[in-house]
């Protein structure tokens, strides 16, 4: 009885103190190897206190020393300072490994940091800050970054705008992991009850402590160029990430769905609601409030042909509707005469139902909210599905739904299709916390929605989820011991454990380029070879081992390695890679996404070199469909024409500065390596408009893998200017390139 009274008294003190402006910190009740922080607003803490306490106890049972920080938070800076203090205080004894933000905790949208995203490139000068700033909790979890306050969205808004300082670090390296538990208002009801219900679900799932033994993947329409080779090779990665599925006697252990399959959406609904599914992996296009799932299935049978005709006709009618002086009635008469249609054919257009809604092939929030989503972890490799700053967002509907989903990974803006989707994902089979996995693959837009400390039971007993924090090589007291530990794991019988060891050693500058190249050449794991290639990219295009690896990787047995090798080839710009790239282009058209990725190469390379190498490859080719070559010639000519247009406009002093800047921005996606000297000269030319010089200096920051990078660095270091804005832009570009 006395114990209960003391607990209630402590709770009353905590809740009363939380009403003040000063943050209230509840310290851990026990010492652990690592620590974790719950950051929560005062009202959510008051309304959800029993559930927050139960969640804290569940985390402590899982080996974390938990701090709870509550307040009426006045700004993101206030929270960041508290996290800095915790990190510094616990660095040696109980390092802070993660944080979760629960409820109405301020969030930051960042400007001047688009290079930290995978694909987002929106003009911050021309468009509103609400659209160009990237909402990101890297503000909190990456203490290496430095920011400058811009403004608050409105008086009562949780959204604050900050700019990444030019003097800041320009690469992501999160100090700890993070996650968001923020209720989507679109779902309606009482948000405190919903958060409490979610926390009870998390505690229940943690008690189950289940292994991953059922996985579902879904490939949506128009993703990765609908390349079947890319989709087939997904199985290579899955077998390495989740080897337990390959040895399972259960045929349902792995289900791979594709939008081409009959009734794909209905099948997906079934899989989402299967109780035994642990992990669901979506690869698709997305919006904050939609998953774009389906495309055109094979048109078989009378009903599907009739539907295809109706969809096509209705599409043109809707276009007429959107026109200022559109003639819908006239369009109807045209189609009636052409296809001998009756008025009945247009009934669904005049009185649309959900069945024939143009968004019917999407999975919208209203549908998701009705589902009982069961996978404990869901990955949304899609644009915008993790937009927690919106009133409704896909990932939020999954975790706050009626099923067992407790954690998701999603993006707040658009995301590159050719990124390494499944990087380090196999660590989840080894019991690594979901947040720790996300920290390893950090992007500005990528977030954990839900409990970031959640993890599955490991396939084989291990302590990796703790060792990944405590075995820091920079720990001088145990440095030799820790180096030996990670070196031993380089030969582990698991692809992503090997990759983790490679990454950890590389982060400590203990993985030279020649060692990585040798590992790439000898490793039997496809995903580990991809890790070697990615780590070699840190050395840039001036490193012969990286260039050599890219040339060899174009022939790797794993499609994703080949595709990223093609992407790296364009970013490097070394003409020694042209022969291999031309061979891939001419003789392997089945690699649709690799061919698509090579388009950038043919745009950035010198026209004469490109034409010669392609014609030589055509002369040697045994490929039987000679018409294919004519199409390739036309495609390459089109890419070179785009280059000529960009280059001519960028350096044409007769054009308006805005037109020149638009062309220069094209250098970000297409680094024209042979224009480096002219670009540096443009930055240095005091007779050029300041805004054009700024754009050129910024664009050169995207040449980070170019074989001419040091030439850029040397050139920009010698630019003399008294203009403060240009000085800052040059400083940022140099920080990105060094």
Residue by residue, DSSP assigns 417-448 as: TTS-TTTTGGGGGGT--HHHHHHHT--SSEEE
**What does the mean pLDDT of the chain come to?**
92
| pLDDT confidence band for 298 (50 / 70 / 90) | low
Give residue 444's Cα distance to chain centre: 8
Contact between 603 and 581 under an 8 Å Cβ cutoff? The reply is no
Same domain, yes or no: 594 and 707: no
Number of Cβ within a 10 Å radius of residue 296 = 13
Cα 496 off chain centre by: 19
Last residue of a domain, one of 191, 212, 236: 191
% pLDDT > 70, the chain: 94
Same domain for 669 and 633: no
Nearest partner of 120 among 384, 304, 342, 336, judged by Cα: 384
Looking at the structure, do residues 622 and 676 belong to the same domain, yes or no?
no
d(CA 181, CA 533): 35
- 469-476: long-range pairs with CB below 8 Å, 24+: 469/33, 469/34, 469/95, 469/97, 469/436, 470/33, 470/34, 470/95, 471/504, 472/95, 473/504, 473/505, 473/507, 473/508, 473/510, 474/508
Q: Which of 62-71, 440-449, 587-596, 615-624 has the lowest mean pLDDT?
A: 615-624
User: Is there a domain that residue 52 lies in?
Assistant: yes
Residue 500 covered by a domain: no
Token readout for 170 is 């320009």
pLDDT tens column, 387-399: 999 999 999 999 9
pLDDT for 3 beyond 60: no
pLDDT value for 336: 85
CA-closest candidate to residue 221, choices 121, 277, 290? 290
Q: What's the N-to-C CA distance of the chain in angstroms?
A: 63
Distances (CA, A) of 252 to 216, 242, 246, 249, 604: 9, 14, 11, 9, 46
- pLDDT category at 624 given cuts 50, 70, 90 is low
The predicted pLDDT at position 357 comes to 47
Higher local confidence (pLDDT), 680 or 359 = 680
User: CB of 563 within 8 A of CB of 597?
Assistant: yes
- What is the mean predicted confidence (pLDDT) over 559-570? 97
pLDDT tens per residue across span 243-276: 999 888 888 899 999 998 888 889 999 999 999 9
Distance CA 27, CA 293 (A): 46
- Whether residue 12 has pLDDT greater than 60: no
Instruction: Give 113's DSSP letter.
Output: -
Distance between CA atoms of 229 and 558, rounded to whole angstroms?
A: 9
Sheet of 362-364: strand order equals 285-287, 290-292, 362-364
Give 19 or 671, the one with higher predicted confidence. Answer: 671
Residue 250 confidence (pLDDT):
86
Both 683 and 558 in a single domain? no
User: For residue 320, what are the domain limits?
Assistant: 301-356
What does the buried/exposed string (b/e) look like for 171-180 if buried means 16 or more CB atoms within 10 Å of the residue's CB? Answer: ebebbbbbbb
One domain for residues 96 and 129: yes
Q: What is the pLDDT of residue 84?
A: 98
Q: What angle do CA 160, 167, 536 make, to 5 degrees?
A: 105
Q: Which of 145, 171, 191 is the last residue of a domain?
A: 191
With 60 as the cut, is the pLDDT of residue 614 above it?
Answer: yes
- Predicted pLDDT of residue 356: 43
Give the rounded percent of residues in the chain with a pLDDT score beyond 90. Answer: 78
Structural element, H or E, at residue 129: helix 129-132
Q: What would the mean pLDDT of 190-197 be, rounded to a whole number?
A: 98
Amino acid 433: pLDDT: 98
SS3 content of the chain, % helix, strand, coil (to 5): 55, 10, 35
Residue 462 lies in a domain: no
- Are residues 619 and 729 both part of a single domain? no
Residue pair 392/428 in contact by the 8 Å Cβ criterion = no
In which region does residue 165 sit, left (phi positive, over 0), alpha (psi from -120 to 50) or beta (all else)? beta
**Angstrom distance (rounded) from CA 277 to CA 279:** 6
Task: Tell me which of 211 and 9 has the higher pLDDT.
Answer: 211
d(CA 703, CA 161): 27
pLDDT in tens, 691-704: 999 999 999 999 99
Task: Compute the distance between CA of residue 193 and CA of residue 366 in angstroms, rounded to an integer.
Answer: 20
The mean per-residue pLDDT over the stretch 676-689 comes to 97
pLDDT category at 401 given cuts 50, 70, 90 is: very high
Burial of 234: CB neighbours in 10 Å, binned 0-12, 13-18, 19+:
buried
Tell me how far apart the alpha carbons of residues 94 and 21 are, in angstroms, rounded to a whole number.
27
Longest dimension (CA), the chain: 90
Query: What SS3 state is found at 282?
Result: strand
Write a three-state SS string for 16-47: HHHCCCCCEEECCCCCCCEEEEEEEEHHHHHH
What is the DSSP track for 448-493? Answer: EEE-TT--PPPSS---HHHHHHHT-TT-GGGHHHHHHHHHHGGG-S
Q: How confident is the model at residue 343 (pLDDT cuts 50, 70, 90)?
A: confident
> Does 355 score more than 80 pLDDT?
no
pLDDT of residue 448: 98
Three-class SS state of 360 = coil
| pLDDT surpasses 60 at 171 | yes
Residue 172 has pLDDT above 80, yes or no: yes
85 pLDDT higher than 80: yes
Total Cβ atoms within 10 A of residue 139: 25
pLDDT at 476 over 70: no
The answer to whether residues 635 and 585 touch, using CB atoms and an 8 Å cutoff, is no
User: Confidence band (pLDDT; 50, 70, 90) for 628?
Assistant: confident
Sequence-separated (6 or more) residues with CB below 8 Å from residue 56: 38, 66, 68
Question: Does 637 lie in the same domain as 684?
Answer: no
Residue 389 is assigned to a structural domain of this protein:
no
Are residue 614 and residue 667 in the same domain, yes or no?
A: no
What CATH number has the domain bearing residue 175?
Answer: 3.40.50.10390
Let me know if residue 271 belongs to a domain. Answer: no
The answer to whether residue 683 sits within a structural domain is: yes
Is the per-residue pLDDT at 710 higher than 90?
yes
Are 517 and 666 part of one and the same domain?
no
Q: Please provide residue 133's backbone torsions phi and psi, each rounded to the nearest 5 degrees.
A: -80, 140
| Same domain, residue pair 721 and 670 | yes
pLDDT at 314: 85
- Tell me which of 617, 644, 671 is where a domain ends: 644
What pLDDT, on a 0 to 100 scale, did the predictor assign at position 296? 54
Question: 4 falls in which pLDDT band (50, 70, 90)?
Answer: very low
Give me the number of domains the chain comprises: 4
Q: Decide if 125 is inside a domain.
A: yes
User: What mean pLDDT comes out for the span 407-423?
Assistant: 95
Residue 686: per-residue pLDDT: 95
Torsion region of 189: left, alpha or beta (phi above 0 gives left; psi -120 to 50 gives alpha): left
Query: Is pLDDT above 70 for 55?
Result: yes
Three-state DSSP class for residue 125: coil
Residues 724, 637 share a domain: no
pLDDT tens for residues 481-538? 999 999 999 999 999 999 999 999 999 999 999 999 999 999 999 999 999 999 999 9
Average pLDDT rounded to a whole number, residues 65-84: 98
Task: Tell me, yes or no, whether 288 lies in a domain.
Answer: no
DSSP-assigned letter for residue 697: H
631 shares a domain with 603: yes
pLDDT of residue 206: 97
For residue 11, what pLDDT band results from cuts at 50, 70 and 90? very low
On the question of pLDDT at 300 being above 70, the answer is no
Q: Which two tokens stand for residue 588?
A: 């392997």
């Amino acid at each position: 009885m006395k114990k209960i009274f003391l607990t209630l008294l402590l709770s009353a003190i905590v809740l009363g103190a939380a009403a003040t402006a000063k943050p209230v910190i509840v310290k851990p009740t026990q010492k652990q190897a690592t620590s974790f922080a719950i950051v929560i607003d005062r009202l959510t803490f008051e309304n959800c206190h029993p559930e927050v306490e139960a969640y804290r106890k569940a985390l402590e049972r899982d080996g974390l020393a938990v701090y709870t920080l509550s307040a009426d938070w006045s700004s993101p800076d206030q929270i960041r300072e508290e996290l800095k203090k915790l990190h510094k205080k616990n660095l040696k004894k109980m390092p802070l490994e993660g944080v979760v933000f629960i409820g109405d905790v301020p969030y930051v949208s960042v400007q001047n940091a688009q290079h930290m995203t995978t694909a987002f490139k929106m003009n911050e000068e021309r468009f509103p800050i609400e659209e160009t700033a990237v909402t990101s909790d890297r503000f909190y979890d990456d203490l290496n970054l430095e920011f400058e306050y811009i403004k608050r969205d409105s008086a009562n808004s949780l959204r604050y705008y900050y700019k990444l300082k030019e003097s800041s670090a320009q690469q992501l390296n999160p100090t700890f992991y993070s996650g968001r538990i923020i209720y989507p208002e679109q779902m309606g009801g009482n948000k405190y009850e919903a958060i409490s219900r979610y926390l009870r679900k998390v505690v229940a799932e943690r008690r189950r402590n289940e292994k991953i033994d059922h996985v579902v993947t879904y490939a949506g329409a128009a993703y990765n160029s609908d390349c079947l080779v890319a989709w087939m090779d997904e199985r290579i990665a899955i077998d390495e990430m989740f080897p337990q599925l390959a040895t399972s006697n259960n045929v349902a252990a792995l289900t791979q769905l594709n939008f081409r399959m009959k009734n794909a959406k209905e099948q997906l609904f079934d899989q989402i609601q299967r109780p035994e599914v642990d992990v669901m992996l979506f690869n698709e296009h997305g919006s904050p409030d939609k998953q774009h799932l389906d495309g055109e299935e094979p048109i078989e049978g009378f009903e599907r042909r009739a539907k295809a005709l109706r969809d096509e006709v209705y599409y043109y009618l809707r276009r007429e509707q959107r026109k200022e002086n559109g003639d819908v009635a006239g369009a109807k008469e045209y189609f009636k005469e052409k296809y001998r249609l009756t008025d009945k054919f247009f009934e669904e257009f005049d009185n649309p139902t959900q069945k024939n809604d143009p968004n019917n092939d999407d999975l919208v929030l209203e549908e998701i909210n009705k589902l009982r989503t069961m996978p404990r972890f869901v990955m949304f490799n899609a644009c915008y599905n993790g937009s927690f700053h919106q009133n409704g967002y896909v990932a939020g509907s999954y975790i706050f739904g009626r099923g067992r989903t407790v954690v998701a990974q999603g993006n707040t803006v658009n995301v590159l299709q050719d990124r390494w989707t499944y990087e380090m994902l196999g660590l989840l089979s080894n019991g690594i916390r979901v947040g720790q996995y996300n920290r390893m693959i950090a992007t500005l837009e990528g977030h954990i929605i839900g409990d970031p400390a959640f993890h599955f039971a490991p396939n084989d007993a291990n302590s990796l989820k703790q060792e990944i924090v405590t075995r820091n090589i920079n720990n001088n007291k145990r440095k030799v011991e820790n180096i030996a530990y990670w070196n031993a794991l380089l030969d582990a019988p698991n692809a992503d454990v090997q990759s983790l060891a490679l990454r950890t050693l590389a982060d400590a500058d203990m993985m030279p380029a020649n060692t990585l190249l040798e590992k790439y050449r000898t490793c039997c794991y496809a995903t580990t070879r991809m890790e070697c290639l990615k780590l070699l990219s840190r050395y840039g295009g001036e490193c012969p081992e990286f260039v050599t690896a890219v040339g060899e990787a174009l022939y790797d047995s794993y499609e994703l390695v080949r595709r990223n090798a093609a992407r790296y080839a364009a970013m490097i710009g070394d003409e020694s890679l042209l022969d291999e790239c031309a061979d891939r282009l001419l003789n392997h058209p089945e690699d649709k996404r690799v061919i698509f990725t090579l388009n950038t190469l043919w745009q950035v390379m010198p026209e004469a070199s490109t034409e010669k190498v392609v014609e030589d490859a055509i002369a040697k080719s045994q490929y039987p469909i000679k018409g294919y070559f004519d199409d390739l010639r036309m495609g390459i000519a089109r890419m070179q024409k785009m280059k000529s247009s960009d280059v001519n406009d960028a350096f044409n002093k007769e054009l308006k500065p805005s037109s020149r800047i638009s062309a220069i921005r094209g250098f970000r996606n297409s680094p024209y390596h042979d224009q480096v000297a002219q670009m540096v000269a443009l930055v240095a030319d005091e007779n050029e408009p300041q805004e054009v010089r700024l754009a050129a200096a910024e664009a050169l920051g995207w040449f980070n893998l170019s074989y001419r990078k040091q030439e850029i660095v040397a050139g920009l270091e010698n630019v003399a200017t008294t203009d403060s804005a240009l000085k800052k832009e040059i400083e940022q570009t140099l920080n990105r390139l060094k």
